[in-house]
Structure 1
Amino acid sequence: MAKRRQTLQNTANLTLNRTFAMPLHRQLYDRLRHAILSGQLQAGQALPSTRVLASELGISLNTVNNAYEQLFAEGYIERRVGQGTRVACDLPETFFLPKGVPQRNTAPNESTHAPLFLSHLGEDLMRQAPESSIQTYLRLTPPHAFRTGTPDLRAFPFQQWNQIVAHCARSMLRDMANYQEIAGYYPLREAIASHVSITRGVHCQAEQVIIVPGAQAALDMAARLLLNPGDLAWIENPGYLGAQRALLNAGAQLAPIPVTSEGINVEIGQKQYPQGRLAYVTPSHQFPSGITMHLSQRIALLQWAKQANAWILEDDYDSDYRFSGRPLDALQGLDMAQRVIYIGTFSKVLFPALRIGYLIVPPQLVPPFLSLCSYTHIHVSILEQLTLEAWMTKGYLLRHIRRMHDLYAARRALLIELLQKELGEA
């Protein structure tokens, strides 16, 4: 039995990662299947019993059983009484080859291509990319009704925008062509600080604003800086998949907290996940439910963060659009303990190709965030920053928001009217 265990460990990498969203039995299945197809495990080679492999990997017997059952069902392994479990001699991939076409040789020494070695994170991303890539979905699907994340681009004043781009390129770009401030173009940071102070009640100075390539980049940076692998992170359930992916990439363990009519349920979070180190929330317009977090829950969340010495990521992705009542000020504006990292973006208000987002961080976090920026993107395209700053200071941003607000409000009212007409009050 010891010989089997040694042979399997020497020929296949079966290391599993408990911090990934993918279940352990699926990880084990993938690694064994890869080892079989690449020739690391040879046809007819004996595999250890489920009990031996479970003991060796430190996982449950059910986990190994589930992986073996899947491999057996798909024809990668064989089970015979008295002979144990072995790698199948005829693999499923060979069944579909036309007659006369030679089967591929999977022996390692005879392979024409080197095996693709990735980190566990890389393997996880490769498996999940087709299902979870938000950008792929947005890019490949044609325009249609009720699509999230994209404003009505037909209503955007591109001619006006292009005129400002041309002006900035002619009059300013030559003098700004060298490397710029890592935190971003300072006049733009001033304009953003002023805008969120007036419209969202955010308390900050321009020095706390850091320009990044979109809100997703902000989430990724914050997760890596504020969490260690294995740390617990509260997330809204249901919630934004892009945030979940950023937290998982940082090695966090996700703690799903239910969303009620008042927003994330802080009481449940404290009871079930008291060791949480960070909470990701969308308090102004919860995604995907649209709920606004009640003031009582905001105060409870801030008190928890202060007492637990935890961080709060406030994703204020589209707070400019609210169609009834005055919106509550941002969570950051209520934060007296400086535990909130505020994230904003212009992609949802202007157009998605404008990859400009921003972080507003407590003063003590500015140096580490800037240090991380210097090793990732250095700074965002200066021409786009110049254009956006001019767009904001000339008053075009607020005028555009007002126009789009009226447009979306009219469409919303029409939709409600038609739904009531066709479906009734029920």
Structure 2
Amino acid sequence: MQTGKTGPIAPPSQLSQLSRLPELSPLDPAAAEPYYRQIYDRFRNAIAQGLLKPGDRIPSVRALTRELGLARGTVDAAYSLLAAEGYIQARGQAGTIVSPDLQPRRPVQSKAPRPDSDVPAASYRPDSVLPFQMGLPALDAFPRKIWARLGARCIRATQPSDMVHPAVFGSAPLRAEIAAYLQVARGIDCAPSQVFVTSGYRHTVQLVGQALLKAGDRVWLEDPGYPPTRELLAGMQVAAVPVPVDRDGMVVAEGIRRAPRARAAVVTPAHQSPLCVSLSLPRRLALLDWAARTGAWIVEDDYDGEYRYVSRPLPALKSLDREGRVLYAGTFSKVLFPSIRLAYLVVPEAQVERFEQVMQVFAGGSPALTQAIVTAFIREGHFARHIQRTRTLYAERRAAAIAGLERVLAPHVRIDAQPGGMHLILRLKGERSDRRLVARMRQEGLYAEALRDWALTPEEGDPALLLGFTNIDSMQTAQTLGKRILRLLEPGSQSAA
């Protein structure tokens, strides 16, 4: 769910079970509609599509005012309009609910596919658990007891009909919960039929390639950028076009200069992978304009968009898409845990049939039991609460990791100031090789990645280390680990050169 990869709120069907309201994404300041109208439209659309159901509780005016940072009168105006049109009812101390008199609408579901049991399972490479491991959420903070309880309940409820081949597109309840979450928390207007559950980011990219690309096509990739993306495209005989990244994200004008007729662009707008800068609004609009003019596709990889620490999480690029050119890729790996092997892709409505055809041929479906547990985890509000807790925890661990490492390594590295993400960037001072240092750290039981290994043009740019901080529990731990790195940087070390 980058995973993407703005701040979430609980699925509408379970808002009444939350004791604290998680953050909502910012509204669009560039939109023609005033803020109260954007709030009104968001809730009305969720009700109309059946994502908010009769009797569901919605956030109070006070809570939503605090979350969005708006004047109370703005939210009052939106709620008054919703109430006047019969969408919601105020129940005093019981809160505000969706009007029980409304006729519930079933979310539009795609026709049931015929599962293909001959598709081989995707290969799985387990992550090691090393200090500074990249791509791992805080494993010690995951609510394992709640997960175990939900798992046991799902197992007890299993019926023979649940033991057949899993739905190729993803289970209908999970697709509905994802659509509801994205509708309210991310401002992405989508139906459950537009959501396709995959076994991870690699599967998502392969699915996009099989549906929309062909051998010989050219695709913009951020430089530096996530290495598996270019590896997957190369396997499909699709040419990667490196597009540089600066403090405002992908340089769209340079992409147009290098490959104006490229078939697609893969971007990480919330926190660019790996530099963690955000794609500015002018660049977002320029990218959308290019795609609309040329008929190109934009794959938005929102792998960790929930984790922003200097302000509220940014809205998804998909929320600005008016021409149906953006495919939104989210993942549960960065929020829950990697071994869950679940991600999702939201496709434009006009492409639903095409993706259904491709998935019936190339996909085998994800385990039904895992999907059932995740569905319950979201529906009962645990997902939203977990993101809210880990956002606070990561801000603390990020600060502790920076403080501990700087105390030891300040003469040798400079740590980039980043607005969010789940890793740090340590710029190496002097003439040092990040690749050699990484190799040495691996030998010493420490994890790191070299920034140059993420570049399509590795001869450019300064050497730097990428270090995950989510499992660094204190400044003292970071300082101890920093001393181990320092020994590798001392004169005479095999990595120093």
TM-score (norm 1): 0.65
Q: Please list, as runs of the form range in 1=range in 2, the aligned pairs for 1:212-231 lying within 5 A after superposition.
A: 212-231=198-217
Name the CA distance, whole Å, in 1 between partners of 2:160 and 2:210.
Answer: 35
1:280 counterpart = 2:266: yes
Match of 1:388 among 358, 374, 378: 374
1:267 counterpart = 2:253: yes
- The 3-state SS of whatever aligns with 1:204 is coil
1:235 to partner: Cα distance: 0.2
1:307 counterpart = 2:320: no
Name the CA distance, whole Å, in 1 between partners of 2:392 and 2:400.
Answer: 12
Q: For residue 414 of structure 1, what is the amino acid of its counterpart?
A: A
CA RMSD of aligned residues (A): 1.9
Q: For residue 144 of structure 1, what is the amino acid of its counterpart?
A: L
In the alignment, is the contact (CA less than 8 A) between 1:173 and 1:383 conserved in 2? no
Q: For residue 204 of structure 2, what is the amino acid of its counterpart?
A: A
In the alignment, is the contact (CA less than 8 A) between 1:342 and 1:361 conserved in 2? yes
Closer, same or farther: CA 283–169 of 1 in aligned 2, 3 Å: same
1:405 to partner: Cα distance: 1.4
Identity of aligned residues (%): 37
1:399 counterpart = 2:380: no
Name the CA distance, whole Å, in 2 between partners of 1:174 and 1:228.
Answer: 41
1:325 counterpart = 2:311: yes
Closer, same or farther: CA 327–343 of 1 in aligned 2, 3 Å: same
Corresponding residue of 1:250: 236
Name the CA distance, whole Å, in 1 between partners of 2:241 and 2:397.
Answer: 37
1:173 to partner: Cα distance: 4.1
1:180 to partner: Cα distance: 4.3
1:290 counterpart = 2:281: no
1:324 to partner: Cα distance: 1.2
1:376 counterpart = 2:377: no
Closer, same or farther: CA 269–235 of 1 in aligned 2, 3 Å: same
Q: Relative CO higher for 1 or 2, CA cutoff 8 Å, sep ≥ 6?
A: 2
Greater CA deviation, 241-250 or 166-175?
A: 166-175
Corresponding residue of 2:339: 353
* Higher helix content, 1 or 2: 1
Corresponding residue of 2:486: none
Match of 2:178 among 192, 216, 221: 192
Match of 1:343 among 329, 332, 348: 329
Corresponding residue of 1:235: 221
In the alignment, is the contact (CA less than 8 A) between 1:342 and 1:359 conserved in 2? yes
1:144 to partner: Cα distance: 2.3
Name the CA distance, whole Å, in 2 between partners of 1:173 and 1:322.
Answer: 41
User: Deviations for 1:150-192, whole angstroms, at most 9, x for unmatched residues?
Assistant: 1121221222212211111111343322234332111111111
Corresponding residue of 1:170: 156
User: Deviations for 1:17-39, whole angstroms, at most 9, x for unmatched residues?
Assistant: xxxxxxxxxxxxxxxxxxxxxxx
Corresponding residue of 1:56: none
In the alignment, is the contact (CA less than 8 A) between 2:306 and 2:313 conserved in 1? no
Of structures 1 and 2, the larger Rg is shown by 1
Query: Unpaired segments of 5 or more residues in structure 1?
Result: 1-133
Corresponding residue of 2:130: 144
Name the CA distance, whole Å, in 2 between partners of 1:173 and 1:305.
Answer: 46
Tell me the matched-pair count: 290
Name the CA distance, whole Å, in 2 between partners of 1:371 and 1:379.
Answer: 14
Q: Please list, as runs of the form range in 1=range in 2, the aligned pairs for 1:61-76 lying within 5 A after superposition.
A: none
Name the CA distance, whole Å, in 2 between partners of 1:192 and 1:282.
Answer: 20
Q: For residue 256 of structure 2, what is the amino acid of its counterpart?
A: Q
1:415 to partner: Cα distance: 2.5
Corresponding residue of 1:179: 165
Corresponding residue of 1:45: none
